Amino acid sequence: MNNSKKIQSALISVFDKTGLEPIVQQLHQQNVTLYSTGGTEDFIKNLGIPVVAVEDVTSYPSILGGRVKTLHPKIFGGILNRQDHEGDVQQMEEFNIPQIDLVIVDLYPFEKTVASGASESDIIEKIDIGGISLIRAAAKNFKDTLIVASVNEYSYLLDLIVAQNGTTTLEQRKLLATKAFHVSSHYDTAIFNYFNTDETIYKQSIADGQILRYGENPHQKGYFFGAFDEMFTKIHGKELSYNNLLDVDAAVNLILEFKNNNPTFAILKHNNACGLATRETMKEAYLDALAGDPTSAFGGVLIANGTIDKATATEINQLFCEVVIAPSFDAEAISILEEKKNRIILVQNEVELPQKQVRTCLNGLLIQERNAITDTKEGLKTVTTLEPTNQEIEDLLFASKICKNTKSNTIVLAKNGQLIAAGTGQTSRVDALKQAIEKANSFNFDLKGAVMASDAFFPFPDCVEIAHHAGITAVIQPGGSIKDELSITYCNENNLKMVFTGTRHFKH
């Protein structure tokens, strides 16, 4: 059975005329009858190419301010008729319905109109009716009709009709129908989300997917769905992997906590900070971040809250690292960092992060709001007799920001604007603290005068006792345990300061 179809007629009705001219010219050269409406009809006429107005077919003008143009049986009959169905063939003749073999249509820019901050009335007018109906009709009848529903498919269509002299195969028509249904479903999702206020209903459509080399491990397939190029300008290096992207996400969320601080540099490994420091210069911040754990920094992701200059890049270049991220780089810094062929260099653009976080769980999804609370000085409640000093308060808040962005259970130790060590992802908070102390000691940090942050409360006083013996002088934690008084009493008896934030920062 021959499933090839020759295009003999086409309905063209588009909002965006970009790239349309060569297609129209080629269809004209192949003696294709063109039907059109409104602005597209004028566009074709201005090319000196004959075109039949849809209203001449339907005997109805465009009405209701253009809301109704193509919605008519003579148009949809021409698209939806089954050419191998005897009853359809007879009705096409009976009602003098023209056959339409190709539909080229796009949709009003609903998402762009919403993003522009337009009024509700303007947004409503950008809900396409005729276009979406044409797309669904032509895609449904892909057996006989070719649908092109996006300017992104224009080059494919042009290559097709040139190479095959206006003839298409069933497989090609089905492919374009699939793409058309993607356009229509994405469009409907955007409209629904504009109207929806029921948080128990979740719909999302992401148009731009990227195939990754593999997932977490080489035997797993991996994909990224998102507008990466909006968020970053990649100026050097290999393609990012699945694990790179997870680390970059963790780095971006962490450095956001220090957006308005003095020069701050962070080094991450497996989604957790292994080094972070705030200093007067970016070079100093990098060197002190590196000192936090120079072993783990190998192969890590680096991120800065300000410009990376030549002096900082020179130091970075001595370290093997996967990714370097900053809002800007000096030209000399880029030249230095580009010396490593595979090193990924990303300029971070100002883009608002999604307000909801989504992850798979069992046979469904878990969705939550972002953890948008950052602990502040005003929100601290001193629960011990001794008040922390100004320097200790700065370090407590510094440590809390890191703690919030570290896998639970976690303990973070900091001193003088530097991450000393962290215990990450432990099943016991005591184990997390012991891990942090052991790591700090292994890199010869003096814990006397350091502070401790915990992502959740202490059910027992064991952690403050261990911290005290290590030399730590101040503690920040959410509070809320029924045994808080045990920890408070221990601190008071041993001259420790402790503040409560009232906010837990689990990160699982």
Beta bridge partners of 221: none
Alpha carbon of residue 296 to chain centroid: 27
Cβ 498 vs Cβ 491: under 8 Å: yes
Distance, CA of 283 to CA of 354 (rounded, Å): 31
Q: Which burial class, exposed, middle or buried, applies to 119 when counting CB atoms under 10 A from its CB (0-12, 13-18, 19+)?
A: exposed
Count the Cβ atoms, other than its own, within 10 Å of residue 175.
15
Task: Determine phi and psi for 210, rounding to 5 degrees.
Answer: -130, 130
The end-to-end CA distance of the chain, in Å, is: 57
Reported as half-sphere exposure (CB side, CA atoms, 13 A), residue 252 has a value of 20
The type of residue at 96 is N
Distance, CA of 132 to CA of 142 (rounded, Å): 15
Residue corresponding to tokens 């979740």: 202
Distance, CA of 148 to CA of 20 (rounded, Å): 11
Cβ 384 vs Cβ 485: under 8 Å: no
Give the catalytic positions in this structure: 140, 270
Beta bridge partners of 381: 500
Q: At a CB cut-off of 8 Å and minimum separation 6, what does 93 contact? A: none
Residue corresponding to tokens 């003008």: 61
Reported as half-sphere exposure (CB side, CA atoms, 13 A), residue 212 has a value of 21
Kindly state the tokens that stand for 302: 């680096």
**Greatest alpha-carbon span in the chain:** 99
Task: Determine phi and psi for 30, rounding to 5 degrees.
Answer: -95, 15
Strands (E), 334-439: 344-348, 356-361, 364-369, 381-382, 411-415, 418-423
